[in-house]
Copies of this chain bind each other. A is one copy, B any other.
Amino acid sequence: MTDAPEVRQIATADGDDALPTPRPGRLAVIGLGPGAAGLMAPDVRDELDRAQDIVGYTTYTQMAGPLRPDQRILDSDNRCEMDRARLAFTLAAQGRHVVVVSSGDPGVFAMATAVMEALDQSEDPAWQRVDLAILPGISAAQAAAARIGAPLGHDFCVLSLSDNLKPWSQIERRLEHAALADFVIALYNPSSKARPWQLSQALDLLRRHRVPATPIVLGRDVGRPDERVLVTTLGEIQPEQVDMRTLVIVGSSQTRQFPRQNGGVWVYTPRWYPDTTTESS
């Protein structure tokens, strides 16, 4: 871990007031996917192999390996996302090939948005010249869904339960409308030590709209060595079953489960919806 990474100045002044403009570098914001190498896009592996600097949370820079000794890891457990985004632009503006790592899809509650915010706020023309690319990845909801069947097979929504950056009232408003719309609901950041009550409150809200038998999928560390996928119901779920590394999928009124021959169940949401008319095709 590097708490305060040294940012080397690649373009140096050489006594002339006409400084050479450094060749703009590349900044790739990549999604590692759920964790297993077999679910990471080849384009992402290529970016990692070509990168000089790898910026991200320690957990994710470790997942991105193996890396070569000549590749610089600028990781941190605690630096905020905006600081990481700005560091990445600073390095890329100096001509470096920089990769910012997220797990899952960087566009889903991850670093792509912070990188966009940093660029939008910057007036540095060197940042604007950086060759910026965002590479998608398989997100946690997709990985968990695939393990258990097809719970996201019909209309669904993706919602973070973290009220760090949005008011809880807005989260409740979204949950209420998601319930009334009968969306399947994928909950990211469902619970943490610092946010112990939010999940219970969200489940209480959903219980006013959906029956106790509604299937709930809990996918923890899907695609990593400690993977665990559980199926429970809205009536039976215990908040202790969920932590920050768990992805929660709450079924719609139509989501079903049926037993697998070797134990466990499959969960899916049918493609059709009751009262279908065939006015058009």
Question: Which residues in A have some Cβ–Cβ distance to B below 8 Å?
Answer: 33, 36-43, 46, 81, 105-109, 112-117, 119-120, 125, 128-129, 134-139, 142-143, 145-147, 149-160, 163-168, 170, 173-174, 176-178, 180-183, 194-195, 198, 256, 258, 260-261, 266, 268-273, 275-281
> Is B43 a contact of A41 with CB atoms below 8 Å?
no
Chain B neighbourhood of A117, CB < 8 A: 268, 270-271
> Is B150 a contact of A134 with CB atoms below 8 Å?
yes
Residue of B nearest to A135 (CB): B146
- Tell me, in angstroms, the Cα distance from A116 to B265 when the chains sit together: 11
- Tell me, in angstroms, the Cα distance from A182 to B178 when the chains sit together: 11
Main secondary structure of the interface of A (DSSP, over half): mixed
Q: How far is the CB of A221 from chain B (nearest CB, A)?
A: 15
> Is B155 a contact of A268 with CB atoms below 8 Å?
no
Q: How far is the CB of A90 from chain B (nearest CB, A)?
A: 17
> Is B279 a contact of A168 with CB atoms below 8 Å?
yes
Name the residue in A116, A145, A167 with the highest tally of chain B Cβ atoms < 10 Å from its Cβ.
A116
> Is A128 a contact of B261 with CB atoms below 8 Å?
yes
> Is B273 a contact of A149 with CB atoms below 8 Å?
no
- Tell me, in angstroms, the Cα distance from A36 to B42 when the chains sit together: 10
- Tell me, in angstroms, the Cα distance from A277 to B162 when the chains sit together: 12
Q: How far is the CB of A189 from chain B (nearest CB, A)?
A: 11
Name the residue in A113, A136, A145, A266 with the highest tally of chain B Cβ atoms < 10 Å from its Cβ.
A136
- Tell me, in angstroms, the Cα distance from A42 to B135 when the chains sit together: 16
Chain B neighbourhood of A158, CB < 8 A: 152, 155-158
Q: List 18 A-B contacts (CB under 8 A).
A: A36-B43, A38-B41, A38-B42, A106-B146, A109-B153, A112-B268, A113-B153, A119-B266, A120-B258, A134-B145, A134-B146, A134-B150, A157-B157, A157-B158, A157-B178, A167-B275, A173-B181, A177-B181
- Tell me, in angstroms, the Cα distance from A77 to B151 when the chains sit together: 26
> Is B41 a contact of A116 with CB atoms below 8 Å?
no
- Tell me, in angstroms, the Cα distance from A37 to B115 when the chains sit together: 26
Residue of B nearest to A30 (CB): B146
- Tell me, in angstroms, the Cα distance from A138 to B31 when the chains sit together: 11
Q: How far is the CB of A199 from chain B (nearest CB, A)?
A: 12
Q: How far is the CB of A97 from chain B (nearest CB, A)?
A: 17
Q: How far is the CB of A207 from chain B (nearest CB, A)?
A: 18
Q: How far is the CB of A166 from chain B (nearest CB, A)?
A: 3
Q: How far is the CB of A237 from chain B (nearest CB, A)?
A: 21
